């Protein structure tokens, strides 16, 4: 569904202009029509035509008059956060988390479904049920839903809505968007979960206005989202950012990916557990490890310290390679706390080029369960505000 452009030239130009105007109002609003024309370079007539269309669809609205120095006060345009809603879903090994948000990514309703098994048929059925549950929980009309975004671990072909490889489900080349579409009847976007998290940061979070930043996630695995020159870097096949599978030791432990000694075999949850069990074989889960960490268990402190230091060395390599302005650290693993992250920060400082280290701010985000789902919702919002070709797919531009 994603790679065809059914628009003729005139329609395409109009869709591009609509996208530019919408994005301008999102970025600079509240803003009057004359300013929109100045910022975009479009003619006042074009701006007037397209903004009335956007008002009609409910996407923008006219705010109270702005300041004026004599004469009639200008009417200001702003995004109407309640003009439409999107759903973001984070699909995990045994359950899926969902959030329904408004156009500013504010969460209106949250819910989750458990996956009875890992067959594609039953996962698709449960995703469809989650969408239904969220719509009814939020109490919005079905027609107000403009799209569904799904984030999941693995290699994703974003353009085709295709999951190429999934570490948890063992699926290969599964067209998730195509399979789910008949059940939800709105555009569906699929991306790697770390990319969706980066998108939320870029559009609504700490990375607003920052052209070069990285999103690093710690938890069950290690993930990396790369934004360079303001754009997502996906690589040729959508696989860029598999930072967790960079090599630390070719003779190291076996990794999920089939190779040995990848970074995440040392610093993600399973690796941390393995190391902790060398000291204390009774530790069975990551929650038990976190408990002991809170009690300042010296063995756990040393395990986390070693892992944090190792991650920091690898992040220093990233800084030297990409010179980012900001690194946002998120994911369940932020709960590992200072025994992990202090050594990480020290190693980053020690091993990165000083000039590039001082360019780079490192920000460890507090963890909230809905961050992933909100990220997936941003996947749809970004399409709405940014991409004129994909905009043609949204229901309410087709007058329904």
In the complex, the smallest distance separating the C-beta of residue 259 from Zn ion, rounded to whole angstroms, is: 5
Give the residue with the Cβ less far from Zn ion, 134 or 263: 263
Q: How far apart are CA 22 and CA 36, in angstroms?
A: 10
Using CB under 5 A as the binding rule, the residues of this chain from 195 to 254 that contact Zn ion are 245
Q: For strands 213-218 and 222-228, give the pairing.
A: antiparallel
**Interface with Zn ion (CB under 5 A), residue from 255, 289, 329, 347:** 255
Give the residue with the Cβ less far from Zn ion, 134 or 307: 307
Are the C-beta atoms of residues 107 and 396 closer than 8 Å to each other? Answer: no
In the complex, the smallest distance separating the C-beta of residue 169 from Zn ion, rounded to whole angstroms, is: 17
In the complex, the smallest distance separating the C-beta of residue 95 from Zn ion, rounded to whole angstroms, is: 24
Using CB under 5 A as the binding rule, the residues of this chain from 111 to 130 that contact Zn ion are none
Cis upstream peptide for 30 (omega within 30°)? yes
Give the residue with the Cβ less far from Zn ion, 262 or 290: 262
Give the CA distances from residue 142 to residues 34, 83, 133, 148, in Å, rounded to whole numbers and listed in that order. Answer: 35, 13, 11, 12
SS3 track for 205-272? CCCCCCCCEEEEEECCCEEEEEEECCEECCCCCCCCCCHHHCECCCCCCECCCCCECECHHHHCHHHH
In the complex, the smallest distance separating the C-beta of residue 191 from Zn ion, rounded to whole angstroms, is: 21
Q: Rule CB under 5 A: say whether 144 interacts with Zn ion.
A: no
DSSP characters over 120-131: HHHHHHHHHHHH
Q: How far apart are CA 342 and CA 127, in angstroms?
A: 39
In the complex, the smallest distance separating the C-beta of residue 256 from Zn ion, rounded to whole angstroms, is: 6
Q: Rule CB under 5 A: say whether 7 interacts with Zn ion.
A: no
Give the residue with the Cβ less far from Zn ion, 150 or 263: 263
In the complex, the smallest distance separating the C-beta of residue 245 from Zn ion, rounded to whole angstroms, is: 4
Q: What are phi and psi of 339, to 5 degrees?
A: -65, -20
Q: Which helix (H) or strand (E) holds 350?
A: helix 338-351
Give the residue with the Cβ less far from Zn ion, 179 or 262: 262
**Interface with Zn ion (CB under 5 A), residue from 126, 262, 292, 329:** 262
Give the residue with the Cβ less far from Zn ion, 247 or 278: 247
Q: Rule CB under 5 A: say whether 257 interacts with Zn ion.
A: yes
Q: Which residues bind Zn ion (CB under 5 A)?
A: 245, 255, 257, 259, 262
């Amino acid at each position: 569904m994603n790679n065809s452009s059914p628009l003729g030239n005139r329609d395409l130009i109009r869709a591009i202009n609509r996208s530019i105007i919408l994005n301008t109002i999102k970025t600079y609003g509240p803003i009057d029509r004359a300013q929109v024309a100045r910022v975009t370079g479009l003619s006042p007539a074009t701006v007037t035509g397209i903004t009335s269309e956007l008002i009609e669809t409910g996407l923008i609205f006219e705010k109270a008059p702005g300041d004026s120095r004599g004469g009639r006060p200008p009417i200001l345009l702003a995004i109407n956060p309640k003009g439409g809603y999107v759903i973001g879903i984070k699909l995990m090994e045994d359950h899926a988390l969902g959030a329904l948000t408004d156009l500013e990514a504010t969460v209106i309703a949250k819910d989750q479904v458990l996956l009875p098994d890992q067959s594609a048929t039953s996962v698709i059925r449960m995703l469809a049920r989650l969408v239904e549950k969220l719509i009814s929980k939020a109490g919005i009309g079905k027609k107000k839903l403009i799209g569904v975004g799904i984030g999941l671990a693995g290699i994703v072909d974003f353009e085709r809505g295709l999951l190429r490889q999934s570490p948890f489900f063992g699926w290969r080349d599964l067209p998730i968007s195509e399979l789910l579409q008949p059940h939800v009847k709105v555009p569906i976007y699929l991306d790697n979960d770390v990319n969706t998290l980066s998108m939320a940061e870029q559009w609504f979070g700490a990375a607003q206005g920052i052209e070069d930043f990285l999103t690093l996630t710690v938890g069950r695995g290690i993930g990396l989202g790369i934004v360079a020159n303001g754009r997502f870097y996906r690589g040729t096949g959508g696989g860029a950012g598999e930072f967790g599978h960079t090599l630390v030791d070719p003779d190291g432990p076996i990794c999920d990916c089939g190779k040995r000694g990848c970074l995440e075999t040392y610093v993600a949850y399973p690796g941390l557990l393995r190391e902790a069990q060398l000291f204390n074989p009774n530790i069975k889960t990551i929650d038990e490890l976190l408990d002991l960490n809170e009690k300042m268990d010296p063995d756990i402190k040393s395990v986390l310290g070693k892992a944090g230091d190792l991650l920091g060395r690898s992040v220093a390599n990233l800084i030297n390679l990409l010179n980012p302005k900001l690194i946002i650290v998120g994911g369940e693993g932020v709960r590992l706390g200072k025994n992990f992250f202090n050594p990480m920060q020290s190693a980053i400082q020690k091993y990165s080029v000083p000039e590039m280290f001082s360019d780079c701010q490192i920000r460890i985000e507090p963890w909230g369960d809905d961050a992933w789902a909100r990220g997936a919702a941003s996947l749809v919002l970004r399409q709405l505000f940014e991409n004129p070709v994909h905009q043609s797919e949204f229901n309410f531009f087709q007058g329904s």
